[in-house]
Each structure stands twice: as structure tokens, then as C-alpha cells.
Amino acid sequence: MRLSKLLPFNDARIKISEFQKTSNIEEIDLKEAHNRVLACDVFSYHNSPSFDKSAMDGFAVIAEDTFGASQNNPLKFKVIDSIGAGDFSKKQINNNEAILIATGSPIPSGANAVIMKEFTSINGNDLEIQSQVTPHENISPKSEDIKKGNKVLSRNTYIRPQEIGLIASAGYSKIKVYKKPKIKLLVTGNELVEPSECLKEAEIINSNQFILSSMIESCGADFEYSHIRDEFDETKKAISESSIDFDAIITTGGTALSKGDLVVDACDYLGKIIFHGVSIRPGKPAAFAIVNDCPVFMLSGQPVAAMGQFDMFARKFLMNMQGLDYSDKIVKRKSQVKIPSTVGRTDYVRAVSDDKFTRHVLNRGSGIIRSMVEANSYIIINENNEGIQEGDIIDVLFFNSMNFNR
Amino acid sequence: MRLSKLLPFNDARIKISEFQKTSNIEEIDLKEAHNRVLACDVFSYHNSPSFDKSAMDGFAVIAEDTFGASQNNPLKFKVIDSIGAGDFSKKQINNNEAILIATGSPIPSGANAVIMKEFTSINGNDLEIQSQVTPHENISPKSEDIKKGNKVLSRNTYIRPQEIGLIASAGYSKIKVYKKPKIKLLVTGNELVEPSECLKEAEIINSNQFILSSMIESCGADFEYSHIRDEFDETKKAISESSIDFDAIITTGGTALSKGDLVVDACDYLGKIIFHGVSIRPGKPAAFAIVNDCPVFMLSGQPVAAMGQFDMFARKFLMNMQGLDYSDKIVKRKSQVKIPSTVGRTDYVRAVSDDKFTRHVLNRGSGIIRSMVEANSYIIINENNEGIQEGDIIDVLFFNSMNFNR
């Protein structure tokens, strides 16, 4: 244990950021691009719309011909053609002529407005118009959405449904994105067993594998999982091999005092410990190492501490690997409770918050998964703060604001 | 077009809710349960911890034996055993005896506290303690997290990483969840082509397939996609077949005036139109039908209108199918701008909002995908409101608050 020299929280974060990596780039089908991050600027091949198009179902006309039209004074037009979706007309509109047009179709030559069908009545090719339209009315002008050659999206943009639509409209069926980080999850602990109805004495269910793998997924990364026993050689071998094949390693547990800090010692043997022990609560024994250029995030075996450490240290790294510039979306809320803390230590307090208020979850033992189930956010108490008074405006970090698709 | 009798927004939502379905239940591996919804209550097979366990690496002792210990007055103990992770001791602690213990290990018989290693020094089996501990200190008592037989999670709970951990700790390696809804996405329109660098006259890139399929995914549902041409028989066949094989159908476009409201007419022929035309902006021509007990959400061909209609009508249905009780998480923000509206119509105005303020995105044409890219939220202006003044406190709905994993 090297806990005597605890590192301040922000120093630990800065040290990790010095080893930030960026994923390689791959080109994928646009169909697969939802929830990925653009690895290139996107310039449009097209104007969108690529022509002046009708914004309504109706009749293309010369606007000036409709001036003065009303229900009491309907004006007569001759319908000379019709344009369905995906179609266009080769005809030219002259005065008092109209062409039936579908939403989205190109405005025919000569016309400068569309009158909606509900303001007309038709009998064969004879059209009566009962309302006037102004020039350009109900026309979506060419390139109003996108101009050909313009940059429509920047590299490092997270792709939501609307971005995927814009990329498609710009003319791309494939697109360059950052590869998903490949993370090795190593859960250590002889005492850990798979979930089952029956447990032997001293056995503990390995919930960390499920929790941490889900958290890795919530960062947009892929994972492979292994359970390793508390043996130095096995630990060393697993970390060494994973450091070659994966972008990062996340471990839990393996800091059993009676047998030494196995995971930390293995990383020390294989590479360089960047820190071990941070002045935080929960999760003080957090450690970080570099082994064969591979970052190793060493989290506690206690599930709640491991979740906190993941959120504090690993999440930003995994997000930023994919080209994002992740930072915590901290918001201000009014505390409904008094919360003691200690100067010199940063606390991530499990909390229930809404759009105005926040309060901590009562049961705060670091083994208490239930407390994380009850919570939807952290109250963050920084190291200069010796506690929160009821009514204080304080920092809150919502769990869902830390997801990849936030 | 039946737009003359526009249905009020809330009436349209209520009509849809009358046809709400719930997905069937399936049992899946717990490893797959992240981002699913529980279809059963979860009762724990175990106490967690299943024994009084050490919360620290240190020495199990009788707390009363340490009273008075300090750096100036270290007290002497004899170490009689050690307990690693996954291990336990058969020995009984007597006065002034200690057992080396790892975090997470069972407290040995006779002990009632654990003293952290940093407050001790050891020489062979001779231990000096330089600090006192109180009874129960550094012990996580049996069942403090979970009591055997208790309900730990309720049916219809959305499964985040912490819930998956709790289910594991309760003893389950498989769990019952609601099946993912199977949605058929039918994009209509002869004019629509796949994204490419070159377009012919009147061709429009089919961005809706990408946008809508991503939105369906964002609701936790699976989709299958087809493009159909604007022909009545083809439309009818596609809807009829899909209504048998899928939980819901979502269509875009196909309301070309010059050929009739193809999709609406097909649904009218095959089943029952529940509504067509809603007093909303964007997306007035939204329609909803039931065909062979299958709900059909008919959205506009304009991408932005289709996105708005999806968010207004389809999203809640897809979420609730999976056992959620979805409602919009509307928050209050101060408007930085004046926004006109019309009494009798509900507006979903694309907006940029933060934790305090909101303003609409300027370019609001319903074909303007860029406006959705710029936006992160909707300002909702209800039908009783004739507009927003600068400084008004108004309703805002963040896009990310509508996702399945919100």
C-alpha cells in the first residue's frame, strides 16, 4: 500500500491525460455510423435541395397571376401538366397556367410559387384559385439546407440521427469514423464466483464483470473480459498479454494486503506506475500504470468504489480516444441536505437530483450497490470544501450526462 | 388530404395510447441485459455481503483491546493467522490477538473491528497498533446491501450498469426482460436514391432511412428497412405483410398529392385510420392507423418533420412497449428570444438550450436537417400559447432526455 502519499484528484486526472491516445480511423457503412464519431470533415457533394422544390402538395403558378384571388373572387387557371414525386415537368408555365405538383418535386420553369391544394378547386383541367400567394411562397429554394462544396460537419462530431441524415444528404454512403476502443477487463479475486443460487463460505458473486463491462459499453467501447486469480504470475501474464492486444486495460480488485497489491505490483514489474492512491471518496486506492504503452486503470474490488473510479478516471480517456473532447457536464443544484466532507479530499457523493434540487443517497458504504441503483447523479465536493450546508448551490453530475450518447 | 379537420396534439397522443402494446417477455443472459427493461421483480437469493466482511486491508481485532492506543502509546498484539481474498480463518480471536485480513474477507470469529494497516507495524508475528478503533469499525455487516428474500428491483426497471450488478449479486445469471420491439421502417418515394456523388434531375437522397432507423435504435428497438415506390399495390402489399410480421410500422412520405395520399389510402383500405392531420408544427400531415392490430405511424417525407413526428408520437409507444412508463422530461428554461406561435397549434421548435437558457435555431424550414444538427432540444409551445416573449420561462425537452438510456 502506498496510500500515505495520496495524490490530489485533479493531479491524478492530469497525469492520465498526459497518456491520452486516439483510436485509429476506419471507413464504415453509413448505416453503421449512428453513435460513432466522425474522423473527417464532411464536405457536401450536393446542393440540398438540389433544385427549387415544392414544400407543399398544390399547384405551381406565377404568383403575380394570383393577386386579388379570394373565396369571393376565384381566379381561373389552366392545368397543363402534373409532377409526381421523383418526377419533373419539361413544360414552361405561362400566365394563368398551373402545374399540379407533389411535395418535394422540382418547381417547373416559369413558376415562382405553389398554392396549396386546399385553396383550389379543380374540374378536369380547369382550376379555380381562391387565395393569393406571394412570390417564393411554398418553395424550398435550391441549396437552402446545404451548399455544394461547403463543410457541413466537422471531424470529431458525435453522430446522432440528424448528423447521419446530413452525411447522407451530402452524398456519402460510407464514412470515416474512429475505431471503437478495444478494452480488456480483468477482474481479479479468488473469492469471486459467477451468479448462482448457492454460495460457499467466503464466496462473493462477481458483479464487477457485469457492471464494468456495461460501463465500458456506455463509453462506446468494446470489451473482452477475463477473471484472474490472485496469483502474481497469472496477473502478470494477463496484463502483459493484454497490453499488446488492447487499447487499454481496466482491472478491479487484486489489492489483497495479505498477498501484496498484486495488480499494482504486476504493473510495477511490467511497466511504470503513474500513481497509486488518490485523495478521493470513494475509491482511494485507485491506481494507473503504463505497460507497453498501454494504459492500465486499476480500480477497487468494491463495486461502488470501482464505478466511481471508472467515472472519475477511465470514462474521459475512453471517450476522448474516439475523438471527443469529453468534459463532465457539471450543473448547479440546490442541496436539500447537509453533507460533511474533509478538506483535501474530493468526494463523489451518490445523489438523487432533479432539475432544481439535489440530496445524497443515505446508505453510502462503498460496497452498497443499492446506493448506486437509488442514485441518478453525483454531488461533487471538491478538495477545498469542508462540506455542504442545506441550501448551498453545489456541483452535480448526472449519470446519463456521462454516457457516450449524451 | 384530410387536413381540414386537424386534431389537437394531445388528442392525437391519447388516441395512440389507446392502442399501446407491451412486448413479450424473454429470458436472456445477464451479460446481455444492459440497456434492457426488467420484466419481473427480482428477489435476492442471498444476503450481500453474505458474511460480516472487512472493508479494509488490515488486522481483525477486538476493538476494546485497542482503546488507548496511539503513536506515543502503541499496544502489542500477536498475529495468529492471515485471511486472503476468497479465504476464511477457522481460528478464534482472543484478547490481544490479531488476524491479518484482506478487504472483502470474512471477519474471523471473536473479532469486532479491523484496524487499517497504516496504523500498525509488524515484526514477524508481533504487531504494534498505534491507533484505536471502535467496535464495528471497518466492517461491512452481513446483508447491509441486500437481505436474502427481499425484493431488490421491480419489474419495468431500466437496467443500467448498477442494476445489472445488483441482479448479479442477487444470484441471477439469466434474467427476464421485455423483447425488443421489431419495427418495420418503410420509406416511400420514387424520387429517393441512395447517397452518391452524382444525382439525376429530381432525384433526392434518401436520408430518412438513416435518420429514422437511428431514431428507432435510440428507443431500444430493432428495425428492418424497405424502400417502396409510390404505387398503391406495392404500398398496400408492404404494409399488409409488415403488419403481420412486426410490432409496429413506421412510414415516411408517400403522401404525393398528384397520386393520392398513397400510404394513408393503403392503410384506410387495409385497416382503420385513427387520425390524419394534427395541429402541430412541424409535421401537420402526421397520421396513425391500425392494420391487423399493428400500429402504423405515418410520418412526413421531410426529414425534420419526420423527426418531430417520431418524437411526438412514435417514441413513447416504442419505449412503453418495453415496459417503461415513458413521459417527456420537460424542464423549464428562460427564453433568450421572442418566438411567435399560433393559438390552437402545438410547436416543437428546434432549440439550443443549456442548464439555464434556451433560444430557437434560426433556420426552421422543415427540410432543413442542418437545423436539427445545430439543435440539442425542442422548445415546446403548447396550443394555448400565442408565442414566447424574451425572458419567459418556457418548456424545453432535451433530445438526449428522450433516449432509451436517459
pLDDT for residue A258: 42
Whether residue A260 is predicted with pLDDT greater than 70 in this model: the reply is no
Residues A342 and A386: their CA atoms lie apart, in Å, by 5
- Report the percent of chain A where pLDDT is more than 90: 81
A310: distance to nearest CA of chain B, Å? 12
Cβ-based neighbours of A230, under 8 Å, separated by 6 or more: A188, A189, A190, A254, A256, A259, A262, B84, B85, B86
Q: Which residues of chain B does A80 touch, with a Cβ-Cβ cutoff of 8 Å?
A: none
Per DSSP bridges, beta strands A204-205 and A113-116 are unpaired
A29 touches chain B (CB under 8 A): no
Say which of A48, A168, A211 has its CB closest to residue B210. Answer: A168
Closest to B239 in 3D by CA, of B230, B250, B253: B250
Whether residue B217 is predicted with pLDDT greater than 90 in this model: the reply is yes
The residue in chain A having the minimum alpha-carbon distance to the alpha carbon of residue B52 is: A202
pLDDT tens per residue across span B3-48: 457 999 999 999 999 999 999 999 999 999 999 999 999 999 999 8
pLDDT for residue A201: 81
Q: Which residues of chain A does B302 touch, with a Cβ-Cβ cutoff of 8 Å?
A: 103-104
Q: Three-class SS of residue A134? A: coil
B343: distance to nearest CA of chain A, Å? 21
Residue B184 CA to its chain's centroid (Å):
21
pLDDT for residue A114: 96
Buried-exposed string A181-212: b where 16+ CB fall within 10 A, e elsewhere: bbbbbbbbbbbbbebeeebeebbbbbbbbbbb
Residues A174 and A243: their CA atoms lie apart, in Å, by 31
A17 touches chain B (CB under 8 A): no
- Report the percent of chain B where pLDDT is more than 90: 81
Average pLDDT, chain B: 92
A172 touches chain B (CB under 8 A): yes
Say which of A30, A84, A190 has its CB closest to residue B210. Answer: A30
Closest to B380 in 3D by CA, of B281, B275, B309, B277: B281
Confidence of residue A255 (pLDDT cuts 50, 70, 90): low
- Which grid coordinates are listed for B164? 445489472
Residues B102, A202 contacting (CB under 8 angstroms): no
The residue in chain A having the minimum alpha-carbon distance to the alpha carbon of residue B35 is: A214
Contact B165/A57, CB-based, under 8 Å?
A: no
Contact A165/B331, CB-based, under 8 Å?
A: no
Residues A301 and B48: their CA atoms lie apart, in Å, by 14
Whether residue A249 is predicted with pLDDT greater than 80 in this model: the reply is yes
Residues A314, A17 contacting (CB under 8 angstroms): no
Q: Which residues of chain B does A218 touch, with a Cβ-Cβ cutoff of 8 Å?
A: 34, 161, 405
- Triad A314, A319, A322: Cα angle to 5°: 135
- Which grid coordinates are listed for A193? 464466483
Residues B167 and B164: their CA atoms lie apart, in Å, by 5
Q: Which residues of chain A does B406 touch, with a Cβ-Cβ cutoff of 8 Å?
A: 400
- Triad A189, A193, A197: Cα angle to 5°: 155
Contact B34/A83, CB-based, under 8 Å?
A: no
Q: Which residues of chain A does B84 touch, with a Cβ-Cβ cutoff of 8 Å?
A: 190, 230, 256, 258-259
B403: distance to nearest CA of chain A, Å? 9
Q: Which residues of chain B does A58 touch, with a Cβ-Cβ cutoff of 8 Å?
A: 257
pLDDT for residue A1: 39
Residue count of chain B? 406
pLDDT for residue A364: 62
Buried-exposed string B16-37: b where 16+ CB fall within 10 A, e elsewhere: beeeeeebeeeeeebeebbbbb
pLDDT for residue A360: 95
- Which grid coordinates are listed for B123? 515484526
Q: Which residues of chain B does A167 touch, with a Cβ-Cβ cutoff of 8 Å?
A: 195, 210
Confidence of residue A56 (pLDDT cuts 50, 70, 90): confident
In one-letter notation, the amino acid at residue B274 is I
Q: Which residues of chain B does A257 touch, with a Cβ-Cβ cutoff of 8 Å?
A: 57-58, 100-103, 117
Beta bridge partners of B335: B358
pTM of the model: 0.90
- Triad B104, B110, B112: Cα angle to 5°: 55
pLDDT for residue B126: 96
- Which grid coordinates are listed for B341? 406561435
Residues A101 and A116: their CA atoms lie apart, in Å, by 10
Q: Which residues of chain A does B106 touch, with a Cβ-Cβ cutoff of 8 Å?
A: 201-202
Residues A53, A139 contacting (CB under 8 angstroms): yes
Q: Say which range, A152-161, A196-205, A342-351, B358-367, has the weakest mean pLDDT.
A: B358-367
B173: distance to nearest CA of chain A, Å? 5
- Which grid coordinates are listed for B32? 446481455
Contact A165/B1, CB-based, under 8 Å?
A: no
Average pLDDT in the B103-131 region?
93
Cβ-based neighbours of B184, under 8 Å, separated by 6 or more: B223, B224, B226, B242, B245, B246, B248, B249, B250
Residues A334 and A391: their CA atoms lie apart, in Å, by 6
Per DSSP bridges, beta strands B53-54 and B139-140 are antiparallel
Confidence of residue A367 (pLDDT cuts 50, 70, 90): low
A39: distance to nearest CA of chain B, Å? 17
Angle at which helices B208-218 and A161-169 pack, to 10 degrees? 170
Residues B274 and B301: their CA atoms lie apart, in Å, by 20
Residues A322 and A37: their CA atoms lie apart, in Å, by 6
Chain A segment 382-401 residues within 8 A of B by beta carbon are: 399-400
Whether residue B302 is predicted with pLDDT greater than 80 in this model: the reply is yes
- Triad B386, B391, B395: Cα angle to 5°: 60
Residues A29 and A36: their CA atoms lie apart, in Å, by 12
Quick one: CA dihedral B1, B7, B9, B14, positive or negative?
negative
Q: Which residues of chain A does B194 touch, with a Cβ-Cβ cutoff of 8 Å?
A: 173
**Residue bearing cell 399540379:** A100
Residues B201 and B211: their CA atoms lie apart, in Å, by 23
Contact A165/B366, CB-based, under 8 Å?
A: no
Average pLDDT in the A161-183 region?
97
Contact A152/B218, CB-based, under 8 Å?
A: no
Prediction ipTM score: 0.89
Contact A370/B205, CB-based, under 8 Å?
A: no
Phi, psi of B282 (to 5 degrees): -80, 170
Average pLDDT, chain A: 92
Residues B286, B280 contacting (CB under 8 angstroms): yes
Q: Which residues of chain A does B230 touch, with a Cβ-Cβ cutoff of 8 Å?
A: 84-86
Residues A346 and A30: their CA atoms lie apart, in Å, by 42
pLDDT for residue A4: 54
Peptide bond just before B49 cis, omega within 30 deg: yes
Q: Which residues of chain A does B109 touch, with a Cβ-Cβ cutoff of 8 Å?
A: none
Phi, psi of B337 (to 5 degrees): -140, 165
Residues A100, A80 contacting (CB under 8 angstroms): no
Across the A:B interface, residue pairs with CB atoms under 8 Å apart total: 334
Domains and CATH numbers, chain B: 9-24+180-321 (3.40.980.10), 33-48+146-178 (3.90.105.10), 53-140 (2.170.190.11), 331-402 (2.40.340.10)
Closest to B160 in 3D by CA, of A331, A361, A398, A314: A398
Chain B segment 274-313 residues within 8 A of A by beta carbon are: 301-303, 307
A100: distance to nearest CA of chain B, Å? 7
pLDDT for residue B344: 94
Residues A243 and A289: their CA atoms lie apart, in Å, by 11
Confidence of residue A365 (pLDDT cuts 50, 70, 90): low
Residues A243, A296 contacting (CB under 8 angstroms): yes
Phi, psi of B52 (to 5 degrees): -60, 120
Confidence of residue A2 (pLDDT cuts 50, 70, 90): very low
Residues B111, B93 contacting (CB under 8 angstroms): yes
Chain A segment 309-368 residues within 8 A of B by beta carbon are: 331-332, 355, 363, 365-368
pLDDT for residue A108: 95
The residue in chain A having the minimum alpha-carbon distance to the alpha carbon of residue B58 is: A257
B174: distance to nearest CA of chain A, Å? 9
Average pLDDT in the A129-146 region?
92
- Residue A17, Cβ neighbours under 10 Å: how many? 11
The residue in chain B having the minimum alpha-carbon distance to the alpha carbon of residue A371 is: B145
Q: Say which range, B82-96, B116-130, B203-217, B348-362, has the weakest mean pLDDT.
A: B82-96
Residues A98 and A124: their CA atoms lie apart, in Å, by 13
Whether residue B405 is predicted with pLDDT greater than 90 in this model: the reply is no
